[in-house]
């Protein structure tokens, strides 16, 4: 592996001059710079990033901490993050934690010491004190999808409003009995969607019926059974609002298999607008969440904070960005 020293030797210059020529910070004679550049090419030199980072105190690497890249919403976010990271010359380390605190803590402790310059975290929970701590130590950090307390930078959506609008749409289109399929309501994001659902019901003078609540379970496939159970008990809604597209699609299959049609008998609305929402039959009406853009904005904010901290020694005060959602109507609702 050829190093800076080799280039110095080759050109007959000192290492410091070569280094300067490469970073054109301070003035270097045009001729020597050219000479250096040629040598670099001739020797196929590339800098040792570790040594560089050690010296300058940052690595131009960030970490993306998510529950699992296998969850359909994260590939888009990851791509948004990686694209913008690359644009700014950063690398991204991917970590899947399944939201296990132990794994998160382990990753954090291994990463925060100079291996990375900042975190993007999608698994904030109310009790995630290890994450709060990170921010308190002034470690650059932005949350996505879930925010906390306005004390940490985040880019999120208004889950309550988005859910409210979806349910309101259903009601205005004449649906009278609307079920909801949720994730674990200990997660604020699901609690918010649940609240939006209940608020819409309330505002339109409809009563809440606990028998129409499906789930709170984490495994997407379990919604198949849960839906069938509800249907078999005779609780037949005329619409189902699902808290994710994956759930909506599973539910759609359960509905078919129980002998009902979508949307003729039962309308279904999903949430997320992942790629496959357009591909299923019928194409899914869903609440669109700008996942790629969320990734982009999170990465941009993080990099901004990294640079801000470099200049001022501390982070800028947190900022919560709310990305827009919209209802995209396709064929799974009538």
CA distance 242 to 83: 30
**94 or 211: whose CB is closer to a copy of itself?**
94
Of these, 113, 207, 264, 317, which contacts a copy of itself (CB under 8 A)? Answer: 113
Q: In the bound complex, what is the minimum distance in angstroms from residue 149's beta carbon to a copy of itself? A: 23
- Return the exposure string of 141-165: e unless at least 16 CB atoms fall within 10 Å of the residue's CB, then b: bbbbbbbbeeebbbbbbebbebbbb
Residues 6+ away with beta carbon under 8 Å from 83: 295, 296
The mark string for 88-127 relative to DNA (x by CB under 7 A, - otherwise) is -------------------------x--------------
In DSSP terms, which residues pair with 143 in a beta bridge? 121, 154
Apex 14 CA angle, 12 and 19, nearest 5: 115
CA distance 303 to 106: 23
Residue located via tokens 């670099």:
40
Tell which residue, 253, 295, 280, 270, has the closest CA to residue 83. 295
First to last CA, the chain: 65
Site size toward a copy of itself, by CB under 8 A: 52
Strands 178-182 and 213-215: parallel
- Confirm if 62 and 278 have CB atoms less than 8 A apart: no
Q: Which residues ranging from 42 to 61 are in contact with a copy of itself (CB under 8 A)?
A: 46-51, 53-54, 59, 61
Residue 268: count other Cβ atoms within 10 Å of its Cβ: 26
**58 or 146: whose CB is closer to DNA?**
58
By CB under 8 A, tell whether 302 contacts a copy of itself: no
**51 or 279: whose CB is closer to DNA?**
51
Q: In the bound complex, what is the minimum distance in angstroms from residue 186's beta carbon to a copy of itself? A: 24
Of these, 115, 186, 211, 314, which contacts a copy of itself (CB under 8 A)? Answer: 115
The mark string for 32-51 relative to DNA (x by CB under 7 A, - otherwise) is x--------------xx--x
- DSSP symbols for 164-222: HHHHHHHHHTT---EEEEE--TTSHHHHHHHHHHHHHHHHTT----GGGEEE--S-TTH
- Work out what residue 111 binds among DNA, a copy of itself, none; the CB cut-off runs from 5 to 8 Å by kind: a copy of itself
Piece of the chain touching DNA by CB under 7 A; list 1-9, 80-88, 118-126, 185-193: 1-9
CA distance 182 to 150: 25
**11 or 285: whose CB is closer to DNA?**
11
By CB under 8 A, tell whether 334 contacts a copy of itself: no
By CB under 8 A, tell whether 95 contacts a copy of itself: yes
Q: Which residues ranging from 13 to 32 are in contact with DNA (CB under 7 A)?
A: 13-17, 19-23, 25-32
The residues of the shown chain that bind DNA, judged by CB under 7 A, are 1, 3-5, 12-17, 19-23, 25-32, 47-48, 51-52, 54-57, 113
The residues of the shown chain that bind a copy of itself, judged by CB under 8 A, are 1, 46-51, 53-54, 59, 61, 64, 68-70, 72, 74-76, 78-79, 82-83, 86, 91-96, 103, 109-115, 221, 246, 249-250, 252-253, 256, 275-276, 278-281, 283
């Amino acid at each position: 592996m050829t190093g800076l020293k080799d280039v110095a030797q080759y050109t007959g210059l000192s290492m410091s001059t070569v280094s300067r020529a490469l970073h054109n910070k301070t003035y270097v004679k045009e001729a020597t710079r050219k000479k250096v550049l040629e040598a670099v090419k001739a020797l196929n030199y590339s800098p040792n990033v570790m040594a560089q980072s050690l010296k300058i105190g940052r690595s131009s690497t960030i970490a993306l901490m998510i529950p699992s890249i296998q969850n359909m919403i994260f590939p888009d976010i990851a791509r948004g993050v990686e694209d913008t990271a690359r644009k700014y010359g950063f690398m991204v380390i991917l970590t899947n934690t399944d939201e296990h605190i132990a794994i998160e803590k382990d990753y954090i402790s291994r990463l925060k010491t100079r291996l990375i310059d900042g975190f993007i975290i999608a698994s904030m929970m109310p009790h995630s004190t290890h994450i709060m701590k990170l921010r308190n130590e002034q470690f650059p950090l932005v949350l996505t999808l879930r925010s906390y307390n306005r004390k940490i930078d985040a880019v999120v959506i208004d889950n309550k409003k988005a859910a409210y609008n979806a349910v309101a749409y259903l009601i205005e289109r004449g649906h009278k009995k609307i079920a909801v399929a949720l994730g674990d309501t200990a997660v604020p994001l699901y609690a918010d969607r649940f609240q939006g659902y209940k608020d819409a019901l309330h505002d339109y003078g409809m009563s809440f019926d606990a028998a129409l609540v499906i789930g709170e379970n984490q495994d997407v496939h379990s919604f198949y059974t849960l839906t069938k159970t509800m249907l078999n008990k005779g609780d037949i809604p005329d619409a189902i609002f699902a808290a994710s597209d994956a759930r909506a699609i599973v539910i759609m299959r359960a509905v078919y298999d129980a002998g009902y049609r979508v949307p003729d008998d039962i309308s279904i609305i999903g949430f997320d607008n992942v790629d496959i929402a357009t591909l299923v039959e019928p194409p899914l009406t869903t609440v669109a969440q700008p996942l790629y853009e969320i990734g982009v904005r999170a990465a941009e904010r993080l990099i901004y904070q990294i640079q801000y901290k470099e200049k001022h020694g501390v982070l800028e005060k947190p900022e919560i960005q709310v990305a827009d959602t919209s209802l995209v109507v396709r064929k799974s609702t009538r």
